[in-house]
Amino acid sequence: MIDLVVRGARLVTDDGLVDLRIDGGRFVAVSPHTDEAPEARTVLDADGALASPPYVEPHVHLDTCLTAGQPRWNRSGTLWEGIACWAERKATLTREDVLERAEEVLRWYAANGTLHVRSHVDVTDPSLVALDAMLELRDRVREVVDLQLVAFPQEGICSFPDGEKLLAEAARRGVDAIGAIPHFEDTREDGVRSVEIAVALAEEHGRFVDAHCDEIDDDQSRFVEVLATQAHRRGLRDRVTASHTTAMGSYNAAYSQKLHRILARSGINLVCNPMVNLHLQGRLDGYPRRRGLTQVKEALAAGVNVAFGGDDVMDPWYPLGTANPIQVAHVGAHATQLTAPAEVAECFRMVTDGAAAVLGLGERYGIAEGRPADLMLLPAADPFDVVRRQVAPSHVIRRGRVVATTPPRVTTLDWPGRPNEPIDFVRTGDR
């Protein structure tokens, strides 16, 4: 007898009902739904709910989360003041402090249906206390969440004392990816060199590259062309990701067109963090005030993989957040004007399959025979409906085991002529 059957679910890619058979933590069969009572230790009736692979968080900073206001609030709301606040808080970090905050937010992620997370960790700290804590946490949470760690040189590789040595030490201690922050380096030349250092280090250790790139409203910040060209010339393709790239929101049309060609040719991924960058960017503008986001729609049209990330949860750069990718997708749809029906569905893809591609999950992700049985059940008609109503997963399943459940939210309305009817905000029609 097998472990679990999920009966009568619908896949994102197909309209028909299916039964998912799961044993030993893997999908053993995905087949058309039948009325026969299945033989399994546990049978879960999906009742026509959408069965989707879990959410994937392609970009968050777990070492800084839950520190907003410590030791002071970021009053200007800029990236730069955030970095200054964090430098003060960083001096007080302990292993226990990092573990407690990061684990709590990972619990929020899992409850929201996210079972793969890529977290950046600040390595511009001679003690590397946060890095060691996060490496420990990566092992501890493995049963529920796959955690990837990026060595992130928050205060620079070339502009911070021993920045390059600390990055190399982080690679040696076992991070999954190497980061950079070229727009924060003192000079353009240092910025270019920092990208080259990060890419070479990643190649040497067989790691991914994930650089904070052009997170500034300066239309002259053009390090994404450097990163994409390095990826192209070294054949690294989708093992390389450019995160934030908010200066793209200020590039002129002629340069944008050139850049789209370079990006498409390189095969790199982009990660846009709409909630945080709507909050951080444009702070020095009068009116009109720029949105300060990646050219998401144009990059998608050019064939570039783009994912949406959450970036921060209650830290010096962003005081809000509940570690919920569907909220990010919802805001992202507005912020990037991806609001035609197919575009809203694309926003759902950007926090599932698109983000999985950033993490290089390959056949470790997706609902198909032989793959790990990680999924969520969404009581919704389709991805558009999930984004519109920000539907919470009723069940989150990790390796065939239900790890989170959320009962449907029920509101009852007393309305003239229609006393105490439930309201579910559902309205599905032709799209």
Nearest residue to 119 via CA among 100, 93, 146, 157: 146
Q: Is residue 39 annotated as part of the catalytic site, yes or no?
A: no
Provide CB contacts within 8 A for 387, sequence distance 6+.
Answer: 326, 329, 330, 333, 344, 345, 347, 348
Distance (Å, whole) CA 345 – CA 348 = 5
C-beta of 318 vs 384, nearer to Zn ion: 318
Give the residue with the Cβ less far from Zn ion, 311 or 346. Answer: 311
Of the pair 81, 311, the CB lying nearest Zn ion is at 311
Which residues in 345-394 belong to E strands, given as ranges? 375-378
The nearer residue to Zn ion, 112 or 245, going by C-beta atoms, is 245
Tell me which of 57, 81, 185, 215 is the catalytic residue: 215
- The residue length of the chain stands at 431
| CA 31 from centroid of its chain's CA atoms | 30
CB 74 within 8 A of CB 211: no
- Sequence-separated (6 or more) residues with CB below 8 Å from residue 405: 394, 395, 396
Q: Contacts with Zn ion: how many residues (CB under 5 A)?
A: 1
Min CB(279)–Zn ion separation in Å: 12
- Least separation in angstroms between CB 59 and Zn ion: 6
Provide the minimum distance between the beta carbon of 152 and Zn ion in the complex, in angstroms, as a whole number. Answer: 8
Residues 302-341 that bind Zn ion (CB under 5 A): 311
Q: Are 104 and 143 in contact (CB under 8 A)?
A: no
Q: How far is the CB of 311 from Zn ion (least distance, A)?
A: 5
Q: How far is the CB of 179 from Zn ion (least distance, A)?
A: 9
Nearer to Zn ion, 214 or 311 (CB): 311
What x/- string results for residues 267 through 306 when contact with Zn ion is judged by CB under 5 A? ----------------------------------------
CA distance 267 to 258: 15
Closest residue to Zn ion: CB criterion = 311
Q: Which residues are catalytic?
A: 215
Residues making contact with Zn ion (CB under 5 A):
311
